[in-house]
Amino acid sequence: MAQKKKDSKMMGKIIKTAVSGVLCVALAGGIVAANVLIPPNASSVQSILGLKSGGIDNSKAKTEGINMEYSKPGFDTEDALVEDEIALNKKIAAEGIVLLKNDAGKMPYSTDTTFSFVSHSAVSYIGGNKVDMKTAFEDAGFGVNEALWKFYSEGNGKDYGLGVGSVSYGDDEDFSINECPLSVMKAEPGLTDSMKNTVPVFVFSRVAGEGRDMPRSMYNHTDVEEDKTKTYLEPDSTELEILQYLNDNFDDVVLLLNSGAAVDLSWVENYPNIHTVISAPAMGDYGLCSLAEIFSGKVNPSGRTVDTYEMDAMNSPAAQNFGDFAYYDEDGNLTKYNYVSYKEGIYVGYRYYETRYEDKVLGQGNAGDYNYADAVMYPFGYGLSYTDFEWSDYDTSWDGDTCTVTVKVTNTGDVAGKDVVQVYAQSPYTDYDKANKVEKAAVELVGYAKTAELAPGASETVKIAFDQEQLKSYDYVNAKTYILDAGDYYITAAKNAHEAVNNILSAKGKTVADGMTADGDTAFVATYTPANGTVDTTTYKLDTTTGVEITNQLDHANGGLQYLSRSDWTGTWPTVDGEVSDQISTWGNPINGTDASGNAASYTYRKTISKEDLAKLDSFDSLNPTDFSALTDEIVYGKDNGLGLIDMRGLDYDDEKWDALLDQLTPSDYQTLITQSGYGTAAIKSVDKPSTADRDTATGLINFGFDASGNFYFKGNITHCGVIVLAQTYNDDLAYHYGENIGDESYYLHIDGWYAPAVNMHRTAFSGRNSEYYSEDPFVGGHIASLECKGVASRGMYVFVKHFAVNDQENHRGDREGQFSIATFLNEQAAREIYLRPFEMCIKTDDVQMNYAKDNGDGSYSNATREIPSVTGVMTSFNRIGYTWAGGDYNLVTGVLRNEWGFHGFIITDNANTGVFMDAGQMIRAGADGKLTNLPTGARYTFNKDDVADYHYGREAIHNILYTIANSKTMNGGMPGSRYLAKVEPYQKVIYAVDGVCGGLIAVLVVLTILRFRKKKENVKTV
């Protein structure tokens, strides 16, 4: 019995010891985690915990007479900023909403009107909405059908509505439409009766999201066979039944589009009582107030489309190769890689539709049976107004290489309004072009201007300038650089892209008798003949900004494909680059086969890849041609040169002082900045660099932290309109002001850098992030984004223009488990003229003034200003250029971005926490700088302090990072001689606290364990 008791006691000790051991390991893990994870994420940790640095120590700096507030917000208080942001949100919405149809002049409506908002999307409007539709319209003086609103918001219709689209950044997708059926509405007592004597507004919404594109078939998202063959951009049978009911029972129906995609509207003609179609995507928190004012006529719509509304988006040349394409190895096994082929070349959006239309009218290019009316619903640049405008006095004048177009715009209608003048150019399509695969669009937008609000009878003469350089084309076959063709160029002012083509066709002597949709106006056409009598292959061979020679950099992405050519539309029409596999597509492919039951089915496309090319996909080769063994850098770490990052502010990028600063870095500094720069960069004591906070979201900054009650929260000011709405304003002032507002927000939200704007293209209407990108046209996207960038930079904040480059598809981009990036193939003309151009425009946009404390060379300092680029940050993309990851592609990053365009600044990856193929060694050898990771496990790279190549490219990377930060608002409050980092920063105190608490508890557990097994002394009696 005694032995059992003894054994039981020992077992208890063992169990307690085991528990203590587990606790010790956990506590030790806490110590390790705190020391490893907190330093590179110091800014986020301090933000979350509400900790602030002790401030900048200026005790040793000569601050007298120096203004160290180098940049500041445009408002003295956050409340004043928010008030301005709300007003701007309303202005952008007011000018960015596009009226597409108003055939019976039903719009605007008297405020005596009551509206019935039909569909669940009315109560779950996509894009912000602190003010919902009901509130907005009631505030505008309208009546709103209360019974119907409550039915959708809290009644039997509340559980319906669109699926979320992309699930968890692409882990899965749910594009179910799930609209409340008409039968449910009719079953609700009195519901349909409540709609009598009202105007029904059917809200047609579509959602997508990061990580997944919109389905080209609904095969995986509906059980209704007739709906499975439809695309997500079409209404399904449930929606059509409701629309038919509305058409049959009301003589006036409004269709309200809430979608970042140019949805399929070909069906509208079947419902003659739909008199009004209006597009209002992503309105932000207060934009619906402006929508209501457009309905009332208080605001006259002046938005214009930034995409072509196609009759069937699946008929575009780009749509033939978009979606779910997989590589199989030579043994027939599915690989982990996917691909996409841009066989359409430059013919994206209106560049295709308008060019083939012109060739059809001119009877050239084997245009086939193409019919414009069957292809296009609304052209690029289209939009209606409540008033009429008359244009006159068209003129073009050249001053050197700059052309200025003037047009007098007169409001001939009855109400005030704004108009948009668009200028398009047509380059000659020559025999040289045909022989060397240089493609030319019928028209390209080269500039625009929006009038002020013109009262009835008032006029304004607008001036639009563009450069001859905008007429150049890229020849990747022969000259392998930009060329300027000889011949006549047409310059026209028009209301949209289609009108521009008709104007030019009329100037060529064509009429409706030749197949034109309408006669053009030759009064708005001018010709320009440059001085070169033959094709000019030299003028634009050197970059006009940097003077660097331009030549092919992306031959490795060509893929040997047959690209669409206007010399033979029918013969070069893009075929699907692959065969139908036996694997059902879970990524939204079109219907391309039948299943075992004979029903329509959606399968993945497949193509066999050679062993050699598969090895390229497996490789981490950056394509850097340097012989790394020939590098002779002297490796230097930890020198005490007495410099801080503030000493670099205002210096040239290549100032020799940078070398002295970089010599102070330690190997651990290299590891940290290269591999863990996600959502901010760490404080680096060796160069007295403060930590930074960088944040996401194109529609406004968001930070995070804990409130006074200890609850975690996300903090932002307001949700702005989506950038597609901003682009639809065609208003430069609004774009610049929006950038200023973002920069202003950064001060109150304590953010330094912005992961935006995103300037990828609307290659098709199905892209999951079309609401985050601007347009199908590179000029619109590049121009609007450039103005944003300049506005942000004027406040001292830095941007990361993203996603560089050719990241126009979300499917298989490489962000989730099992995804290894998508191999993207295109020709260099398409790359440079379409997909790289918006980035180039941002990089080369106007400089901004930067303030700094200048060293006068005699021990004194004075305030000074200098110009710096508006863009000092770029984010690379998930996808591959050919077989090479874009963020690790030397030809793209160094060849184009750094060398040709002269970019000096911070190049960061997209989310590398999950992008397992993003190798940091490849990245820095390509010329990029930091990984967007937060965890050491995401680094997948260890900086080799003794390797000359690691040191050489790592040093360049950190130079770029520090250059961006030195010239930003991060350095406000100090000057040379100041100390930004305390001996113990707040985040270090957190580490010390964790170390102390965990270490103390470990010590207690160890002591208890020792005592547990220590034999107790027995009392000994003495006799």
Report yes or no: 931 and 910 within 8 Å, Cβ to Cβ: no
pLDDT tens digits along 657-668: 999 999 999 999
Which pLDDT value is given to residue 391? 98
Distance of CA 239 to the CA centre of its chain: 31
pLDDT tens digits along 578-606: 999 999 999 999 999 999 889 999 999 99
What is the C-alpha to C-alpha distance for residues 922 and 908, in angstroms, rounded to an integer? Answer: 13
pLDDT tens digits along 42-78: 766 766 676 666 689 999 999 999 999 999 999 999 9
Confidence of residue 710 (pLDDT cuts 50, 70, 90): confident
pLDDT tens digits along 774-794: 999 999 999 999 999 999 999
Which pLDDT value is given to residue 1015? 63
Mean of pLDDT over the chain: 94
The residues, ordered by sequence, that sit 6+ positions from 58 with a Cβ below 8 Å of its Cβ are 68, 973, 974, 975, 977, 978
Q: What b/e readout covers 360-399, taking b as 16+ CB neighbours within 10 angstroms?
A: bbeeebebeebebeebbbbbbbbbbbbbebebeebebeee
Residue 888 has pLDDT above 60, yes or no: yes
Side-chain-side CA neighbours of residue 936 (13 Å): 12
Q: What b/e readout covers 592-628, taking b as 16+ CB neighbours within 10 angstroms?
A: beeeeeeebbbbbbbeebeeebbebbeebbbbbeeee
Residue 834 has pLDDT above 70, yes or no: yes
Residue 188 has pLDDT above 50, yes or no: yes
Q: How far is CA 521 from CA 229, 411, 465, 493, 496, in A?
A: 42, 19, 21, 10, 13
Cα-Cα end-to-end distance for the chain? 31
* DSSP, res 658: H
Which candidate, 726, 849, 736, 709, places its Cα nearest to that of 781? 726
**Residue 351: its H or E element:** helix 350-362
Q: How far is CA 257 from CA 122, 127, 254, 295, 316, in A?
A: 10, 13, 10, 14, 21
Which pLDDT value is given to residue 990? 82
Which pLDDT value is given to residue 506? 98
pTM, rounded to two decimals? 0.93
With both helix axes pointing from N to C terminus, report the angle between 667-675 and 948-966 in degrees, rounded to the nearest 10. Answer: 70
Q: How many CB atoms lie within 10 A of CB 10?
A: 11
Residues in the chain: 1023
Q: How many CB atoms lie within 10 A of CB 330?
A: 10
The tokens describing 290, both together, are 């402006």
Which pLDDT value is given to residue 208? 84
Q: Where would I find the H helices in 768-844?
A: 778-793, 828-830, 837-843
Distance of CA 963 to the CA centre of its chain: 24
Q: Is 525 exposed, middle or buried (0-12, 13-18, 19+ CB in 10 A)?
A: buried
Confidence of residue 1021 (pLDDT cuts 50, 70, 90): very low
Residue 1016 has pLDDT above 60, yes or no: no
Report yes or no: 306 and 777 within 8 Å, Cβ to Cβ: yes
Q: What is the mean pLDDT of residues 140-149?
A: 98
* DSSP, res 49: H
Residue 880 has pLDDT above 70, yes or no: yes
Residue 1 has pLDDT above 70, yes or no: no
Q: How many CB atoms lie within 10 A of CB 807?
A: 25
What is the C-alpha to C-alpha distance for residues 218 and 239, in angstroms, rounded to an integer? Answer: 14
What is the C-alpha to C-alpha distance for residues 140 and 135, in angstroms, rounded to an integer? Answer: 9
Q: What b/e readout covers 474-485, taking b as 16+ CB neighbours within 10 angstroms?
A: bbbeebbbbbbb
Which pLDDT value is given to residue 347? 98
pLDDT tens digits along 966-1009: 999 999 999 999 999 877 777 778 887 888 888 888 888 788 88
Confidence of residue 877 (pLDDT cuts 50, 70, 90): very high
What is the C-alpha to C-alpha distance for residues 690 and 968, in angstroms, rounded to an integer? Answer: 12
Which candidate, 920, 975, 812, places its Cα nearest to that of 340? 812
Which pLDDT value is given to residue 2? 62
Confidence of residue 1022 (pLDDT cuts 50, 70, 90): very low
